[in-house]
Amino acid sequence: MAREPQQLPAVHEAWLPREHALHRPRHGGRQLTALISALVFFVTPTLMWVFGMRPTEIENHALAGFPSIGDGWGFFTGLPTWATDQLSFRSAAITAADGISRGIFGESAPHDQGGTSNSGPLPGSPPPANGQTPTNGTSLGPVDQAGYRQVIEGTNGWLYYGVDAEAKCAPNRPLADTIERINEVRDIVLSSGRKFVWVVPPDKSTMVPQFLPSTYPGKDCHQAAETPTWAQLDAAGAMDLRPELRQVTAQIGRPVYTPLDTHWTDEGALALTRNVADSVQPGVTATWQSPQIGTYTGTADLPKLLGRSGEKTSTLYSLAPDGVTDRAGPIITNLDTPYRHSSPPLTGTVDTPTLVYGDSFTIASSRYLAAAFSNLTMLNYSTTKTTVDQAVDEFVNAKAVVLETVERGVSAGSLPFFDDGFIQQLRTKLAQHPVG
Residue 107 has pLDDT above 90, yes or no: no
Per-residue pLDDT band for 17 (boundaries 50, 70, 90) equals confident
Residue 225 has pLDDT above 90, yes or no: yes
Higher pLDDT, 321 or 48: 321
> Model confidence over 175-191: pLDDT tens digits?
999 999 999 999 999 99
Continuous segment of H or E residues that includes residue 302: helix 302-305
Give 52's Cβ-side CA count (13 Å radius). Answer: 0
Higher pLDDT, 100 or 219: 219
Q: In this prediction, what percent of the chain has a pLDDT beyond 70?
A: 67
The per-residue pLDDT for 143 is: 36
> CA end-to-end span of the chain, whole Å?
97
Higher pLDDT, 16 or 216: 216
Contact status, residue 236 vs residue 267, Cβ threshold 8 Å: no
- As a whole number of angstroms, the distance between CA 146 and CA 150 comes to 11
Which range is least confidently modeled, 53-57, 144-148, 305-309, 338-342?
144-148
Is the pTM for the entire model greater than 0.75? no
The per-residue pLDDT for 361 is: 97
Which range is least confidently modeled, 68-82, 150-164, 401-415?
68-82
- As a whole number of angstroms, the distance between CA 135 and CA 121 comes to 10
Higher pLDDT, 166 or 113: 166
Q: Which of 260, 233, 245, 284 is nearest to 403 (CA)?
A: 233
Q: Which of 153, 170, 363 is nearest to 263 (CA)?
A: 363
Interhelix angle 175-191/219-235, rounded to 10 degrees, is 30
Residue 341 has pLDDT above 70, yes or no: yes
- As a whole number of angstroms, the distance between CA 407 and CA 207 comes to 11
The per-residue pLDDT for 323 is: 98
Residue 349 has pLDDT above 90, yes or no: yes
Phi, psi angle pair for 203, to nearest 5°: -65, 155
The per-residue pLDDT for 117 is: 31
Per-residue pLDDT band for 44 (boundaries 50, 70, 90) equals low
Quick one: how far is CA 103 from the chain centroid? 31
Question: What count of other Cβ atoms lies within 10 Å of the Cβ of residue 19?
Answer: 6
Ordered DSSP codes for 209-255: GGGS-S--TTHHHHHHHHHHHHHHHHHTT-EE-HHHHHHHHHHHTS-
Task: Give one word for 109, left, alpha or beta, with left for phi > 0 and alpha for psi -120 to 50.
Answer: beta
> Can you tell me the mean pLDDT for 36-43?
67
Strands 375-380 and 354-358: parallel
Domain limits of the chain?
Answer: 153-432
Beta bridge partners of 380: 358
Q: Which of 179, 115, 162 is nearest to 305 (CA)?
A: 162
Per-residue pLDDT band for 174 (boundaries 50, 70, 90) equals very high
- As a whole number of angstroms, the distance between CA 329 and CA 374 comes to 13
The per-residue pLDDT for 414 is: 86
Residue 137 has pLDDT above 80, yes or no: no
The per-residue pLDDT for 165 is: 96
> Model confidence over 373-387: pLDDT tens digits?
999 999 999 999 999
